[in-house]
Amino acid sequence: MKQTYELAIAQVFKDEGGYTNEATDPGGPTNWGITIHDARTYWKQDATVDDVKHMPKQVAEAIYRKHYADPINYNDLPDGVDYAVLDYGINSGISRSIKVLQRIVGVVDDGMVGPITISATTSANPSYIINAIYDERLNFLKGLHNWDVYKHGWTNRCNNGRHFALSLTTGTSPRVSSQTWLQLLISSITKLFKGNQN
């Protein structure tokens, strides 16, 4: 994965937080942003609420990479647009986020990121795409039956996500905590060390 991915996934974990199980949340038991449905689909077929509650972060990372980043061809999308599509997919479904991107760049919205979608996306202004994605995302959320319950959190997430994505397009390093930078440094050193062993 390209450099923006580690920044993006750190932001995703910051936004998603830890374990929740709210009656008003249709996702049910959720940890690191991974719902019990996704846990049963991508991790353990018989995952329980307790499994989700104690899900290792590495499991969530693997699910995000394989089932969210890979399907959108994260590496082939422009910086900033990659995060916007990924974050929308995590929040509202990968198929929806891809189709929204495709409609914005004017290609057939078949829910699959192939050469045509990538070409159209890389030819367009990334800031325009990012703003259009977050505008559509917020409008979609406003139409959901539980908007009144989550409107403040969802609005903040969209606003913060828009700012973060736009900062990636300009090469401006987004603000991350010293702990996040330390985690990224350790991860990079670990990968380098493992690479030298192979």
Task: Give residue 92's pLDDT.
Answer: 92
Q: Is 21 exposed, middle or buried (0-12, 13-18, 19+ CB in 10 A)?
A: middle
| Tally of CA atoms within 13 A in the half-sphere of 163 that contains its CB | 10
Average pLDDT for 53-59: 96
The pLDDT-based confidence of 26 (bands split at 50, 70, 90) is confident
The string of pLDDT tens digits covering residues 145-198 is 989 999 999 999 999 999 999 999 975 444 444 444 455 456 556 655 655 444
- Residue closest to 117 by CA, chosen among 141, 87, 82, 92: 82
Class of domain 3-197 as given by CATH: mainly alpha
In angstroms, the CA 31 to CA 49 distance is: 10
Supply the pLDDT for residue 192.
Answer: 57
Average pLDDT of the segment spanning 13-28: 87
What per-residue confidence (pLDDT) applies to 65? Answer: 96
C-beta of residue 98 within 8 angstroms of C-beta of residue 108: no
pLDDT by residue (tens digit) across 40-51? 999 999 999 999
pLDDT band at 131 (very low <50, low <70, confident <90, very high): very high
Average the pLDDT over 82-88 and give the result.
Answer: 97
Domain boundaries, the chain: 3-197
Give the pLDDT of residue 23.
Answer: 80
Flag whether pLDDT at 28 surpasses 70: yes
For residue 143, count other CB atoms closer than 10 A to its CB.
Answer: 7
Percentage of the residues of the chain whose pLDDT score is greater than 90: 77
Which whole number is the average pLDDT over 68-94? Answer: 96
pLDDT given for residue 25 in this prediction: 80
Nearest to 60 by CA among 37, 84, 42: 42
Q: Is the CA virtual torsion 10, 12, 17, 21 positive or negative?
A: negative
Q: Is the per-residue pLDDT at 64 higher than 90? A: yes
